[in-house]
Amino acid sequence: ECGKSFRCRSALVNHHRIHTDERPFGCQDCGRRFNRRSNLTTHRRIHTGDLPYKCPDCGKSYRVSSTLLRHRKTH
């Protein structure tokens, strides 16, 4: 559809979901759906309260690693 190519079939399948709006991974708590399992895993942390990424400088914790990386620049 868009001309992109991928080395791994799984990457192609994940990308294809963008074009088809297929969202096979659903949250059991709120019903929100995602095109990647990893996005569902991150989303589930909202419901569980899991904050696995902890700042070694101040101890503040975050749901996603990118938020921790942004925070670390403040120290």
* 12 inside domain: no
Q: What is the average pLDDT across 7-33? A: 95
State phi, psi for 20 to the nearest 5 degrees. -95, -10
What's 60's domain CATH number? 3.30.160.60
- The one-letter code for the residue type at 73 is K
* 60 inside domain: yes
Partner residues linked to 54 by β-bridges: 61
* 55 inside domain: yes
Residue keyed to tokens 């975050």: 62
* pLDDT score recorded for residue 43: 98
* 29 inside domain: yes
CA angle 31, 51, 42 (to 5 degrees): 35
Distance CA 19, CA 60 (A): 38
Looking at the 3D structure of the chain, how many domains does it have? Answer: 1
* 67 inside domain: yes
* pLDDT score recorded for residue 10: 92
Q: What is the mean pLDDT of the chain?
A: 96
* 48 inside domain: yes
* 45 inside domain: yes
For the segment 39-69, what is each residue's pLDDT rounded down to a tens digit?
Answer: 999 999 999 999 999 999 999 999 999 999 9
* This prediction's pTM: 0.77
